[in-house]
Amino acid sequence: MPPVRTSIFQLLKIGPGPSSSHTIAPMKAGYYFMKLVRKLPRKKRLQADKLRIRLFGSLSATGEGHGTRRAIMSGLLGYLPDTCHPNVLEQFDDKTQEYELDLDGKALTYSPGSMIFDAIKHQYSHSNTMIFTLMAGSETLLERVYYSIGGGFLHWEGRKDPKRGEPAYPYKTMAQLKEHLRANSMRLHELILANEKAITGMNEAEIYQGLDHIVEVMERAVEHGIQTRGVLPGPIGLHRKAAIMYDQAKAEHFQGPGFVKALNAYALAASEENASGHCVVTAPTCGAAGVIPAIVFILKRHMGALQDEIREGLLAAIAIGFLCKHNASISGAEVGCQGEVGVASAMASALLAYARGYRFQVTENAAEIAMEHHLGLTCDPVGGYVQIPCIERNAMGAVKAYNAYLIASTLDESYQRVDLDKAIEAMAQTGRDMSRKYKETSLAGLAQSVTEC
């Protein structure tokens, strides 16, 4: 296995919710397929009379509730996740409406309702598979198979990774990461920063500017969420809770239980924004988009953290996310919610410990404790919507992150018997053994027991 080569801004991406696997990656698939279509010879483009889009795996099982139709349609019409306006998906709510696709010389009519929700169990190489086919009658003019592999990452057959530099300090595991830190007398954020420069060619100012923008979007999601009331979209009729909980925390002057209520409110707020299909940050996924913003908000608004402390804490969190993605998964369709909220909680606890000035070992211990106590967490969204249990699960993940930080920073470092590599290995093994029914398919768990929704 090669070392970690993922960029910070591949892991932390901005885009519309409610699911990075079901909205961000499918939006990109629609956009990229149309780019391919326009590269076809003019004669073929003029012959085209039909577009067929088939969705497999959890994209089929829960794509309706997760907004996949709307996301793909927006991509076909030229929108991209990181540049679209925050509520872009709302304009595609009517799946019967027809839209004209520009084939560069010809317009092809298509409606979101034409998408085919195909087999949940299939033989393709990833659960979340999309097949786009441009046709002239029964003849296939162009076909591409896309895989949404979690966290908004999109792969396809024949895809070539863009040329990137080699990491300055290559590592595959936490153990190797620690060796670099000791051998070079470095701090964790310095190593991640050095690798990002080497891999992407960006300079420090550009990287920090990108991180500041990520934090800005996280804060905006929280701020909007704690000010918004009402019912979330979809048939469940779930009421927003963030604003109510925030008001109670404020009434208690954020002291004692009020502090914990505020932490819950911030996680609920960003997660409710995600459930509304508004833009959030994949941290590391849309389904877990409330955990890290809640910790960032607590650090900035209640603990007086400085900008540099937030940046450095975020870089430490990113290191944890890289390791989890590299050695296990951040996809609910592959390993359940332990790979989404579990990883987010581990990242958030590391962020908190590092931003508060603790060095590497406490940071790792905090991440491990948070990860360990999410092992086995299933992904069972009721009705296929990222609402129950997802929204409250984000709040629980934020509270667990804070508690993991408290345990790691209070007890002697030498008391820790489990390291992060072992916890990630356990997560990967648990994910392999987990029944497919509990991996974002809405075929088991709460998705089946809460049948009235």
The answer to whether residue 453 scores a pLDDT higher than 50 is: no
Contact 148, 30 (CB under 8 A): no
d(CA 336, CA 435): 9
Tell me whether strands 116-117 and 50-55 are parallel, antiparallel or unpaired: parallel
State the CB neighbour count (10 A cutoff) for residue 105: 10
Mean pLDDT for the chain overall = 95
Mean pLDDT of 354-383: 96
Show the domains of the chain with their CATH numbers: 15-156 (3.30.1330.90), 174-449 (no CATH)
Model confidence at 451, pLDDT cuts 50, 70, 90, reads low
Average pLDDT value for residue range 23-43:
96
CA separation for the pair 53, 139 (Å, rounded): 15
- Please give the pLDDT value at position 90: 86
Q: How would you label 379-400 residue by residue, b for 16+ Cβ within 10 Å and e otherwise?
A: bbbbbbbbbbbbbbbbbbbbbb
CB 225 within 8 A of CB 268: yes
CA distance readout (Å), 135 to 108, 119, 143: 11, 21, 9
Average pLDDT over residues 76-104: 91
What is the percent of the chain with per-residue pLDDT over 70, rounded to a whole number?
99
Per residue in 262-308, pLDDT (tens digit) is: 999 999 999 999 999 999 999 999 999 999 999 999 999 999 999 99
**So what's the pLDDT on residue 64?**
87
Round to whole Å and give the CA distance between 398 and 288: 10
Query: What pTM value is reported for the model?
Result: 0.89
Q: Which of 49-58, 164-173, 439-448 has the lowest mean pLDDT?
A: 439-448
Look at residues 332, 346, 420, 335 and name the one whose alpha carbon lies nearest to residue 384: 332
Would the pLDDT of 452 be above 70? Answer: no
Q: Which residue has the higher pLDDT, 452 or 429?
A: 429
Average pLDDT score over residue span 210-214:
97
Q: Which residues pair with 134 in a beta bridge?
A: 51, 142
Whether pLDDT at 197 is above 90:
yes
Helix, strand, coil content of the chain in percent (nearest 5):
55, 10, 35
The yes-or-no verdict on residue 384 having pLDDT over 90 is no
The closest of 31, 86, 21 to 282, measured between CA atoms, is 21
Q: Report angle CA 113, 119, 122 to the nearest 5 degrees.
A: 140
- What DSSP line would sit under 162-203, residue for residue? PP-PPPSS--SSHHHHHHHHHHTT--HHHHHHHHHHHHH---
